[in-house]
Chains A and B, each alone.
Chain A
Amino acid sequence: MTASILDGIVLGLQFGVLAAGLTLVYGLGGVLNLAYGQIAVVSGLVTLLTMEAGVPAVPAALIGLVAGGALGLIFDLTILQPVYRRHGEARVLLSLLLTLGAAFVIDGYLNWRYPLRGLNLRITGDPLVVFGVRMRMGSVVASGITIVVIGVLYWLFRYTRLGRAIRSVIQDEEGSRLVGIDPQLMMRLILVLSGVLAAIVAITRSMVAPVNVRAGFSLTVLGLIVTVVGGLGSIPGAFLAGLVLGIINSVASSYIGTFLSLIILLVAAAITIVIRPTGLLGVRE
């Protein structure tokens, strides 16, 4: 039991980072990015190709992060421009349609050009004993990186002027303009951050299991489930839901079977939404 809960926490931390990238973009600009998983996959692929070109793993992973951020920026500058000109429900809908289209295009290209490729960052080393459980080195390193990322996000949003400015746009966009903040610029920064987070998920995930080029949609769906359970637009909610669902997923996998874990995850999500339609920590509406 301890082992599967620990595994669940490792997974849950990654779920949290995955969902944070989606929920920030939604909270800030009312945009749901359905190509989010594809951004993760492309970043992983860039890391893989860079390593194959002879670059060591760590700098290659950093290049992967840059690729994720760059993709976020490209989205902001291109297909999201018409989205920004709409408001409310029309904006959410158009963002769904356009990013879904982008996801299909990216998926199609990857399947044609790089079929069956996948990033697999094997980390060697003796298993580490944590709370009496032997953890693979890959899991330990992935969790360490993820925890540092969560810490950096917390520091950014809690203690920096920029983080405060971003939160102010989420809480009251007009109020943020009145104190001199440009919401459009904040949205651009958040899309870059969201792309980097997607890349971090792909890279840390590949230390535990391979991330292949077809994983895009399942990553997006996972991110959406966690986001909705945590409450759309809530960063703490994303991490809380990530941990809860990560543990549920891992316990269900080891006691019931991996083939049913996604269904159990969906059922858990559905029950949460029925009981609390705004999600665990949602505040909107």
Chain B
Amino acid sequence: MLEVEGVSAGYRGSDVVRDVSFHVDEGETVMIIGSNGAGKTTLFRAVCGLLPPSSGEVRFLGEDITGLPAQKVVRRGLAFVPAERHLFPQMTVEENLMLGAYPEKPDPDTLETVLELFPRLGERFRQLAGTMSGGEQQMLAVGRALMSQPRLLVLDEPTTGLAPIVARNAYAALERLREQGLTILVAEQQVPLALAVSDRGYVLENGAIGLAGTSAELASDPRVRSAYLGVV
């Protein structure tokens, strides 16, 4: 579904990620793990069209989307939820969700699914997004992305700034989306949480893929265990 080949990207001419290749197949949940500054965010920005890659190719649903601006990428079915969420703080939950469906009218069934997944959003429907807690804002960011009825949901560190219990709830929601058959790509530092819901994973180190494998393989790899799972 998504093929990333030899992508390099960065800012002001210096590449943060170099020659990165990975792929996500239909129905899979794939994680990219890496520490702070490994280049996860840069890589995702390059994939979803917020940052044109300096070289390489991104293909989505068989079509070349390299360098396509983010507003066009999302209309093709690739929805991105950035770590900073980028909600519209002075708008209500309802308005944020409506905008998720832009330029179409919001689909009532999709809205119902989102509110079923996050009942909290229904309770806060008329509240301004900027006044909600971090966990609620994360729900809204995912909900807004789902309103575009994406084929692939890309999440950058969905647990940033969330308390451990809220982070676990966020992953419980992802698990449900996965069971409904949605294809998911997620970058995460909280590796134990992400490992539990994903099929495969890649380890990004200093801007390059260092390791790849199924979640079980990664979980038993001594390097992953010592660097990300806190097991010596």
Contacts and interface: CB of A to CB of B under 8 A. Distances in A.
A164 B147 CA distance: 15
B214 interface: no
Interface string B78-114: 0110100111111100010011101101000000000
Given A165-B99, A168-B99, A179 B89 contact: no
A172 B74 contact: no
Contacts of B100: 179
Contact of B102 (A161, A171, A283): A161
Contacts of B145: 178
B71 interface: yes
Contacts of A177: 49-50, 69-71, 74
Contacts of B89: 171-172
Contacts of A183: 71
A181 interface: yes
A164 B99 contact: yes
B102 A172 contact: no
Interface string A172-191: 10111111111100000000
A172 B71 contact: no
B134 to A, nearest CB: 16
Interface centre among A164, A167, A176, A177 (most CB of B within 10 A): A177
A178 B140 CA distance: 14
Contact of B98 (A164, A171, A283): A164
B75 interface: yes
Contacts of A168: 88, 91, 99
Contacts of B70: 174, 177-178
Interface string A144-159: 0000000000000000
A128 to B, nearest CB: 39
Contacts of B102: 161, 164-165, 179-181
Interface string B40-54: 000000001110000
B148 interface: yes
B69 A172 contact: no
B151 interface: no
A161 B103 contact: yes
Contacts of B103: 161, 165, 180-181
Interface string A74-118: 000000000000000000000000000000000000000000000
A172 B88 contact: yes
A39 to B, nearest CB: 28
Contacts of B87: 172, 175
Contacts of B71: 176-183
A180 B91 contact: no
A179 B74 contact: yes
B18 interface: no
B144 interface: yes
Contact of B50 (A161, A164, A172, A174): A174
Nearest to A183: B71
Given A164-B98, A179-B74, A171 B90 contact: yes
Interface of A: 161, 164-165, 167-168, 171-172, 174-183, 283
Given A171-B89, A171-B90, A176-B71, 6 more contacts: A165-B99, A175-B85, A177-B71, A178-B74, A179-B144, A182-B69
Give the 9 A-B residue pairs with the shortest CB-CB distance, closest first: A175-B86, A177-B70, A171-B88, A180-B74, A177-B71, A168-B88, A182-B71, A172-B86, A174-B86
Interface of B: 48-50, 69-72, 74-75, 79-80, 82, 85-91, 95, 98-100, 102-103, 105, 144-145, 148
